[in-house]
Chains A and B, each alone.
Chain A
Amino acid sequence: MRRRRWLRAAVCSVVLIACGCVGAVERDAFEQQIRARGGGLVDGLPAAAFEALRNRLGTGDIQAGVVMFVAPESTQFRLVLADQPEQVTRFLADHDDLSTREPAVHLRVRTPQRPRELDDYSYRLGAVSASRPVRVSVFDDLDGECFTLGEVPGLARLESIVDTALARSALADGVVPVIVVSRFGRDIRIVADVTSARSDMIAEFDSAGTFLGIRQV
């Protein structure tokens, strides 16, 4: 009988040890870890999103007005820009909440067959969302605002852009929660926000991904 009791104790011990190896993490702690690693803003993300959208639209020549890469943060979305272009302002006004649980790409693109129309798409976890129609004003200069996705080769080096922005910011606990691609004036710019508990900074890159400058806001 003593041996059987010992065996039962051994069985319980094995089960408990097998079960108790690792624990779950809360959502906010998980997202914090993801942002600290780079927010999932990897080199392959733009190409995968663009390819999925090309397949959806059935055309290789997609024109976009705003492309936005967002790292996971489900409790809030915060974007800091200097000299914010009109099309980015309209894009933000049309979306109450751009916070996301997974790395996401938001795109505002021209409808291929009807160039005076815009649609919004989101790309997450390998899938493109349904199109969302955008209200366009006669005063909106779509020809001046839009660019083809092929005009931004720098997005193939998204990890380098994140790393450069973090390094140039010199913020000890900085993370890059958002990267915006749009025309600022006539030029296409890739703008990376760097935020920390103490400071917000904006790193600017040209369409080829070359670092242009960084400033505190």
Chain B
Amino acid sequence: MPRPFISALGTGVAAGSIVSFVLPLAIWPGEAGLTAPLFCRAPYLDPMVVSDTFHDSEGTSVNYTLYCVSERGALTDEGFVLPFLTLFAAHIVLVTAVVLVAMLWARTPSDPPAESGAVEL
């Protein structure tokens, strides 16, 4: 396997893991809505990510759930695990692809100086 691809894949897995665990769970949980084409079928076409906040003696916790909602408010509960795993895979692919393209671009050789063997005096 070419070294740039392995390197890009390693970066993709590392960065994808960070992105998958930090962003959807802490900053942009609504990203799970992007998986709607995979989980939401007609007539439940509108994805909505719903947060439930719980306060107990151990602190505050938040659960996220992806619902697919119809025009009349009928809904299906898609949970969060499958959308989350889908995003995990998508992040790895995305980061790997971007890093691979970036590395290949960075390695593009500029015109090397001609080796004529002449010594400039």
Contact = CB atoms under 8 A, between A and B. Distances in A.
Given A10-B102, A37-B69, A25 B74 contact: no
Contacts of B105: 3, 7
Given A27-B50, A37-B69, A103-B74, A15 B30 contact: no
Interface in B48-95: 48-53, 64, 67, 69-77, 91, 94-95
Given A37-B73, A103-B73, A21 B51 contact: no
A178 to B, nearest CB: 14
Q: What is the interface of chain A mostly: helix, strand, loop, or mixed?
A: helix
A125 interface: yes
Contact of A102 (B15, B51, B77, B106): B77
A46 interface: no
A23 B30 contact: yes
A103 B74 CA distance: 7
Contacts of A33: 48, 69, 73
Chain B interface size range: 35 or more
B49 A24 contact: yes
B73 A125 contact: no
B23 A40 contact: no
Contacts, number: 108
A14 interface: yes
Nearest to B91: A15
Given A25-B51, A26-B50, A38-B72, A125 B77 contact: yes
Contact of B19 (A8, A19, A21, A38): A19
A37 B33 contact: no
Interface string A3-36: 1100110110011001111111111001001111
B19 to A, nearest CB: 6
Nearest to A3: B106
Chain A interface size range: 35 or more
Given A19-B19, A22-B31, A14 B94 contact: yes
A38 B106 contact: no
B55 to A, nearest CB: 14
Interface of A: 3-4, 7-8, 10-11, 14-15, 18-27, 30, 33-42, 44-45, 71-72, 102-103, 125, 159
Given A33-B73, A42-B70, A125-B76, 4 more contacts: A24-B29, A34-B69, A40-B72, A42-B74
Interface of B: 15, 19, 23-24, 27-31, 33-34, 47-53, 64, 67, 69-77, 91, 94-95, 98-99, 102, 105-106
12 contacts: A11-B102, A23-B28, A24-B50, A26-B50, A33-B48, A33-B69, A34-B75, A42-B70, A45-B74, A71-B73, A103-B75, A125-B76
